[in-house]
Amino acid sequence: MTTTREPAVTAPAAQAPVEQQGRMTHRQILEALSGMLLAMFVAFLSSTVVSNALPTIITDLRGSQSQYTWVVTATLLASTASTPIWGKLADLFSKKLLIQLSIVVFIVGSMLAGLSQSVGTLIGWRVLQGLGLGGLQALVQIAMAAMISPRERGRYSGLLGAVMAVATVGGPLLGGLLVDTSWLGWRWCFYVGVPFAAVALVLLQRTLHLPVTKRRVRIDYLGATFLAAGVSGLLIWVTLAGDRFAWASVETALFLAGSTLAVVAFVVTELRAAEPIVPLRLFRDRTTTLAIVASVAIGVAMFGSTVFLGQYLQISRGYSPTAAGLLTIPMVGGLLLSSTVSGLLITRYGRWKRYLVAGSLLVVAGFGLLSTIDHETDMVLLGVFLFVLGVGIGMTMQNLVLAVQNTVAASDLGAASSAVAFFRSLGGTIGVSVLGAVLSSRVTTLITAGLPPEVAAAGSGSGSVGLADLKDAPPAIQELIRVSYGDATGRIFLVSAVIAVVAVAAILLVREVALRTESGEERLAREAEPVSEAA
């Protein structure tokens, strides 16, 4: 039976010359990474560029708070559901071709999203974007694991973290500039990544050279279908409950029953499949299981903070999209600093758990501090809170993947890496949905409590006032909406802090294993030798 955790040992000296044959030099690794990092830059840029433009997009298209959430959730949902499939395909086919394919899918989705004339159409094309994003976020880290040993991967993971940080801060800034430029507008938020993606395709073709795995197997499409159905059902329920129907209702019972059946069917299918999408044997390993639990909580931190932070800064505090992007620099600066420095220190000393523990504690602290904000919070203080959160996320996000890749068998690198990315995206999707529902409910409560009868009569005959009314509402109602959003935002960060405690507990229970010195391809070749001899 295949085990998922092997003792971390250094190869005997006699084997070193053989294992190092064909090992990539530092320069070759950097050349190969250039196309992959640019691809990741495109993905994160195109994702974050929308965050500051969303308030403008939703008001222009006359959308609601629920649709605001779904513009983000649709991409995360598609990304989450497709990530395990991309990861499994990476264990079977050319990683290079799959990365290129995911870029093309992402480009097509972005172009079509820019042509949308309604929020519903935009959400549909954002799903296509998510399919490409799911491939990029899983495949780039899988390719890195194939090329670079866990011990050396820290220094390069720092580069990945730096690229993500630049895209994270550059996206909102660029999105703000595009929205504020009258002759461009928000549609260019979806077009802007296309030139970068074209360059990434050329670089990947010229610089990325990995062995092509050819195995005749069946892809577990049935398992993938059940997985997507179960996850989608739960997330759609979380998003709609409390808005379209009551939490305790027939609709809730139907959603929960259907989703539960799909998840059960997925587990049964995976137990019987020859090549399961998510090999359940991975969960026998303590490190993998705990890292996945922590990744769910970190996913809430990554996506929940950025999605609603832009809304807070623009709707409540009245900043322009460009200014809102600039105000997020402390968080991204903290992420850039901590991911780079922790990666270098991990490569130098070979220890990684201390950075995960410290990072997760900072995530809890950052969210706890952000839970105190309201519509009058000092912006310097807000910047300090965001910096603390950014440092925490930077120390945990990439290092959780590293811990898992260091533990599992080489043949499961793709599936295990994508599993971590999948559950991180799942956490993000759940986080956006749940936090969006919490925010919507809290805003409604605050508006209802602060809406005088005469203002209600002047603004909305139904007495229902929300984000969709902001553009055309009388000044008194506009001010009430802004104040309510500012005072309600702290509530979602408090929920995030509680969820992040789960990540701390999981990381504390992880057992640290010394980092390997073999790349994924070297390990795969070594692990295959006993199999061929036995045959």
Residues 146 and 269 in one domain: no
Residues 244 and 119 in one domain: no
Contact (CB, 8 A) for 216 and 76: no
Residues 347 and 479 in one domain: yes
pLDDT score at 363: 92
Residues 348 and 488 in one domain: yes
Residue 30 inside a domain? The answer is yes
Contact (CB, 8 A) for 154 and 346: yes
Residue 535 inside a domain? The answer is no
- The answer, yes or no, to whether residue 400 has pLDDT greater than 90, is no
Structural domain of 310: 25-209+277-511
Residues 252 and 291 in one domain: no
Residues 342 and 380 in one domain: yes
Contact (CB, 8 A) for 106 and 136: yes
Residues 307, 432: Cα–Cα separation, whole Å? 8
Mean pLDDT, residues 394-422 taken together: 75
Q: Which two tokens stand for residue 508?
A: 């504390």
Residues 133 and 44 in one domain: yes
Residue 529 inside a domain? The answer is no
Residues 78 and 135 in one domain: yes
241 has which bridge partners?
245
Contact (CB, 8 A) for 381 and 528: no
Residue 124 inside a domain? The answer is yes
Residues 404 and 267 in one domain: no
Residues 445 and 475 in one domain: yes
Residues 260 and 403 in one domain: no
pTM: 0.71
Residues 377, 363: Cα–Cα separation, whole Å? 20
Mean pLDDT, residues 522-532 taken together: 58
Q: Which two tokens stand for residue 46?
A: 């195109």
Q: What are all long-range contacts of 208-212, with beta carbons under 8 Å and residues at least 24 apart?
A: 208/32, 208/35, 208/36, 208/96, 208/99, 208/143, 209/32, 209/96, 210/94, 210/95, 210/96, 210/143, 210/146, 210/147, 210/521, 211/521, 212/93, 212/94
Where does a domain end: 276, 300, 323? 276
Residue 205 inside a domain? The answer is yes
Mean pLDDT, residues 81-102 taken together: 80
User: Using CA atoms in the order 187, 188, 192, 193, what is the torsion angle rounded to 10 degrees?
Assistant: 0
Confidence of residue 18 (pLDDT cuts 50, 70, 90): very low
Residues 163, 125: Cα–Cα separation, whole Å? 25
Please give the mean pLDDT across all residues of the chain.
Answer: 76
DSSP tag of 274 = S
Residues 192, 110: Cα–Cα separation, whole Å? 9
- The answer, yes or no, to whether residue 384 has pLDDT greater than 90, is yes
How far does the chain reach from its first CA to its final CA, in angstroms?
16
Residues 261, 451: Cα–Cα separation, whole Å? 44
**pLDDT digit string (tens) for 158-216?**
677 667 767 766 777 777 788 877 778 788 888 888 888 888 888 888 887 776 655 55
∠ at Cα 413 (409, 416), nearest 5°? 100
Instruction: Determine what percent of the chain is predicted with pLDDT higher than 70.
Output: 78
Residue 334 inside a domain? The answer is yes
Residue 6 inside a domain? The answer is no
Residue 18 inside a domain? The answer is no
- The separation between CA 309 and the C-alpha centre of its own chain, rounded to angstroms, equals 16
How many domains in the chain? 2
> Residue 87 maps to which CATH number?
1.20.1250.20
**pLDDT digit string (tens) for 28-50?**
788 888 888 888 888 777 767 77
Residues 310 and 171 in one domain: yes
- Neighbouring residues of 360: CB distance < 8 A, sequence distance ≥ 6: 294, 298, 392, 396, 500, 503, 504, 507
3-state secondary structure of 245: strand
DSSP tag of 462 = T
Where does a domain end: 276, 299, 314? 276
Q: Is 452 exposed, middle or buried (0-12, 13-18, 19+ CB in 10 A)?
A: exposed
pLDDT score at 531: 45
Produce one character per residue of 150-167: b if its CB has 16 or more CB atoms within 10 Å, e if not: bbbbbbbbbbbbbbbbeb
- The answer, yes or no, to whether residue 15 has pLDDT greater than 80, is no
In 10 A of CB 26, how many CB atoms?
10
Q: Is 25 exposed, middle or buried (0-12, 13-18, 19+ CB in 10 A)?
A: exposed
Q: What are all long-range contacts of 226-230, with beta carbons under 8 Å and residues at least 24 apart?
A: 226/262, 226/263, 226/265, 226/266, 226/269, 227/81, 227/84, 227/262, 227/266, 227/277, 227/278, 228/81, 228/82, 229/258, 229/259, 229/262, 230/259, 230/260, 230/262, 230/263, 230/265, 230/266
Q: Give just the sign of the alpha carbon dihedral 72, 77, 82, 83.
A: positive
- The answer, yes or no, to whether residue 369 has pLDDT greater than 60, is yes
